[in-house]
Each structure stands twice: as C-alpha cells, then as structure tokens.
C-alpha cells in the first residue's frame, strides 16, 4: 500500500505554493507522462509520477523590471538542486517512506543538467523516465510554465492517476 498519494502531495499548502510558481499544468502533465513511461521502462510508477509532479518545485522566479529574465535564469538557476531538497522535505513531512522519498528526490536533482559544467549525466531508468516526462511536456521559450489549468481539473487528473497507480500495485503485470 502506498503511504502517500499524488492528491495528498498536490493539496499540501507547500506544494501548492511552489507548483503554482512553476506551473500546475506542466506538473500534472509531467506526472501523467511519467506514469506512461514508467510502464514502458519497467520502473515504479508511483515514484516516477511523484518525482515528475514535483520536479520543478525548486524554481525561483527570475524577474528583472517585472519581466522574466532568461539570462539571469541561465546564469544563476539551481532549481533542480533546490527542488530535490524541497520535495524531499515535503514528502517526509507528509509521511512518505524514507527510502521512497530519496528515490523520488534523486530524479528531481537529475532531471536537468543545466547546473552542471559539462552536462554529462548517466541516468538510471527511473531518473531517465522523469527527465523524459519533463521533456515530453516542454514548450519553446519555457511556455509550459505559464500554461493554465483549472485547479479542480488538475486534482481530478491526479486522482485518476492515483487510481491507475493503485491498480498497478495490485496487478503489476497488467498494463493499465
Ligand atoms: Fe525543470
Ligand atoms: Fe519541467
């Protein structure tokens, strides 16, 4: 049995604060992609969906004179590092299993190589799935961070995903 659901994570005030900053629509879409890729690559769909949902919670808003400044962002961003730590803290607070919390935090840390000098990462399957899920929802110029979604629709889609993950736990060999 899962200790924590996507719904519990999503509705927590801390998650709400940071998910709104980086875009709820992107987070929900990435979680859905992660569930799909998890089945393709035979990794745990619960961990993949949670990591994808939270992968951008480390974002800071790089505004200069009221507008997003991409140069500032590219130079100074460490959202993957911040996000991994933030997500881990939140998951532990909600009651996630310690080992699972680490398994979720590492793909968040590695979902982008933007903070590394050479950008050479060798990803394990779960980490690869989360990076793929993020990429699958990316839009040019970071537009995916600004796409709007109705809060209720986001919740319903995560509930659907929770049910799929639960079914997957019961019947791991059956494709949902
Ligand atoms: Fe990101
Ligand atoms: Fe992202």
Instruction: Find out whether 87 and 104 touch, Cβ atoms under 8 Å.
Output: yes
CA distance 176 to 171: 9
| Inside any domain, residue 111 | yes
Interval 140-167 mean pLDDT: 93
Number of domains in the chain: 1
Q: Is residue 55 helix, strand or coil?
A: coil
Terminal Cα-to-Cα distance of the chain (whole angstroms): 17
Residue 175 has pLDDT above 60, yes or no: no
User: Which ligand gives the minimal distance to the CA of 58?
Assistant: 1
* Ligand with the closest atom to the CA of 109: 1
Helix (H, G, I), strand (E, B) or coil at 40: helix
- The pLDDT tens digits for 121-131 are 889 999 999 99
99 alpha carbon – ligand 2 mean position (Å): 24
Looking at the domain assignment, is residue 123 inside a domain?
yes
CATH code of the domain covering residue 116: 1.10.3210
Residue 159 has pLDDT above 50, yes or no: yes
Quick count: other Cβ atoms within 10 Å of Cβ 146? 13
Q: What is the pLDDT of residue 11?
A: 98
**Higher model confidence: residue 119 or residue 53?**
53
Distance 113 CA to ligand 1 centre (A): 9
Dist. CA 49–CA 89, nearest whole Å: 17
Residue among 62, 80, 79 at smallest CA distance from 71: 62
| 142 in a structural domain | yes
| Residue 34 belongs to domain spanning | 6-170
**79 C-alpha to ligand 1 centroid (Å):** 7
Q: What mean pLDDT comes out for the span 62-88?
A: 89
Is 148 inside any structural domain? yes
Question: Which residues in 82-111 are b (16+ Cβ under 10 Å) and which e?
Answer: bbbebbbebbbebebeeebbebbbbbbbbb
Q: Which helix (H) or strand (E) holds 59?
A: none
Using the predicted structure, report yes or no on whether residue 35 has a pLDDT greater than 70.
yes
% of residues, the chain, pLDDT over 90: 73
Q: How confident is the model at residue 176 (pLDDT cuts 50, 70, 90)?
A: very low
Residue 162 counted as domain residue: yes
Question: Which of 136, 138, 111, 137 lies closest to 123 in space, CA to CA?
Answer: 111
How many Å lie between the centroid of ligand 1 and the Cα of residue 171? 32
- pLDDT of 140 reads 85
- Report if residue 175 sits inside a domain: no
Indicate if the pLDDT at residue 167 is higher than 60: yes
- Asked if the structure places residue 1 within a domain, the reply is no
Coil, strand or helix at 146: coil
Complete DSSP assignment for 111-143: S--TTSSS------HHHHHHHHHHHHT--GGGG
């Amino acid at each position: 049995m899962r200790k924590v659901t996507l719904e519990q994570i999503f509705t927590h005030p801390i998650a709400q604060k940071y998910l709104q900053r980086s875009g709820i629509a992107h987070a929900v879409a990435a979680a859905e992609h992660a569930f799909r890729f998890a089945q393709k690559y035979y990794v745990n769909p619960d961990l993949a969906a949670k990591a994808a949902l939270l992968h951008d919670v480390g974002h800071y808003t790089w505004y200069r004179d009221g507008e997003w400044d991409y140069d500032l962002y590219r130079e100074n961003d460490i959202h993957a590092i911040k996000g991994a730590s933030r997500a881990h803290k939140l998951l532990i607070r909600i009651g996630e299993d310690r080992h699972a919390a680490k398994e979720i935090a590492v793909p968040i840390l590695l979902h982008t190589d933007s903070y590394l000098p050479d950008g050479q990462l060798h990803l394990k399957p779960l980490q690869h799935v989360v990076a793929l899920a993020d990429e699958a929802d990316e839009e040019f110029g970071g537009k995916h961070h600004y796409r709007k979604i109705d809060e209720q629709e986001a919740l319903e889609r995560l509930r659907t995903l929770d049910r799929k993950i639960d079914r997957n736990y019961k019947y791991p060999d059956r494709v949902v």
